[in-house]
Amino acid sequence: MKSMISRILFSFALLFLFSCKNESKSETTISSKNEVRYATGFSIQNYFGYSVVTVKNPWPKATKTYTYILKEKNGLVPDSLKQNTIISVPIKTIVVTSTTHIPSLEMLDEVNTLVGFPHCDYISSEKVRARIDAGKIKELGNNQDLNTEVILDLQPNVIIGYGIDNKNPTLDNLQKSGLKVMLNGDWNEETALGKAEWIKFFGALYGKQKQADEIFTKIEKDYLKTITIAKMAKTTPTILAGDMFEDRWYLPKGTSWGSLLLKQANSNYLWQETSGTGSLSLSFETVFEKAKNADIWITSGQFSSLKEMTDLNPHYAKFDAFRNKNVYSFSGKKGKTGGILYYELAPNRPDLVLKDLVKILHPELLPGYQPFFFEKLQ
């Protein structure tokens, strides 16, 4: 009798154990984690049958966290998560709203899923431009005033939006119409590798987390290798950045990703001690007083020649960097409709940007390397 009771209790224990395991597999057990190591604006947690993507900082000083559930085929989403936006993955069609989203689609071999974009002329990618020319990608107007009729007709699986604040009525209306919207905050990251790591955000949408991680790891490895090379430099050139727009000079703040790249390239950026991740707005006189003897000038990209610069402002010629023809710009590489490639690709490929800067600042460290984005203005 005692033996029989023991067997019953043992059987009950096994039944309870396996019941718990089955429940945890469908609701709580993590199957794997796609580690986000540098980006602070999003995280990905993988469970059996679904993933949870959390976007924490889609614009400066955002106070709300956005949670998205990426549901795989036959995946079971717990009741506790069903109040969030649920998107079936892998997605087949997508609308993105920033050129910085384009390289991730291209690197993941998913360009053919893009069906709409605002201001298509800004896109430089040759593969995407070919699809635009073929009529496979629709023009959607302005980012803050998207053509909702065209988007509703396209019925994309997901729309990737971004905002500069909490007000985006167009995206709100699209959600109310039943479309799936996800916010992307890549532009708000403070580090170069943090921006680049958002490829994992797109990898999760396509069921390509492993591929996205491999792509990012290669970028990270090359980036860190270039930092090591830059440390071998025997000089630290002084750097002036930016230029005038209307009556103000705009240049990166000291804790922005642009300033960090200049520092990691082993230079003395003259405003690196300032704080903030945006741009400083200064008078010409203030900049000239501090940077008239700077060794190298990295412009904002609005000029293609030294003559263009002095045609707009003859006082540019007073800087030593101008007189010595040590002025560099990324304006030379453009798409066939005028979009500047740097604005599209640079946030996704900081390894190339850093390597370009090291070549400009310390050419002896990278013999034979030709800058990808930058060129010296003539």
pLDDT average, residue stretch 98-103: 96
User: Considering the domain 231-376, what is its CATH architecture?
Assistant: 3-Layer(aba) Sandwich (3.40)
pLDDT one-digit tens code per residue, 266-306: 999 999 999 887 889 999 999 999 999 999 999 988 899 99
- pLDDT over threshold 70, residue 19: no
For residue 11, name the pLDDT band (cuts at 50, 70, 90): very low
Name 375's Cβ contacts closer than 8 Å, sequence gap at least 6. Answer: 328, 329, 330, 332
pLDDT at residue 164 greater than cutoff 70? yes
- How large is the average pLDDT for residues 342-359? 97
What is the reported pLDDT for 29? 57
pLDDT band at 30; cut points 50, 70, 90: low
Q: Which of 317, 313, 335, 342 is nearest to 327 (CA)?
A: 317
The pLDDT assigned to 217 comes to 97
- pLDDT reading at 172 higher than 90: no
Output the pLDDT for position 1: 42
Where, residue-wise, is CATH 3.40.50.1980 in the chain?
27-219, 231-376
Give percent of the chain with pLDDT exceeding 70.
91
Q: Give me the sign of the Cα torsion angle 328, 332, 335, 340.
A: positive
What pLDDT band is residue 32 in, cutting at 50, 70 and 90? low
Superfamily classification of domain 27-219 = Nitrogenase molybdenum iron protein domain (3.40.50.1980)
| Average predicted confidence (pLDDT) for the chain | 89
Instruction: Assess whether pLDDT exceeds 70 at residue 52.
Output: yes
* DSSP output for 220-236: HHHHHHHHHHHTT-S--
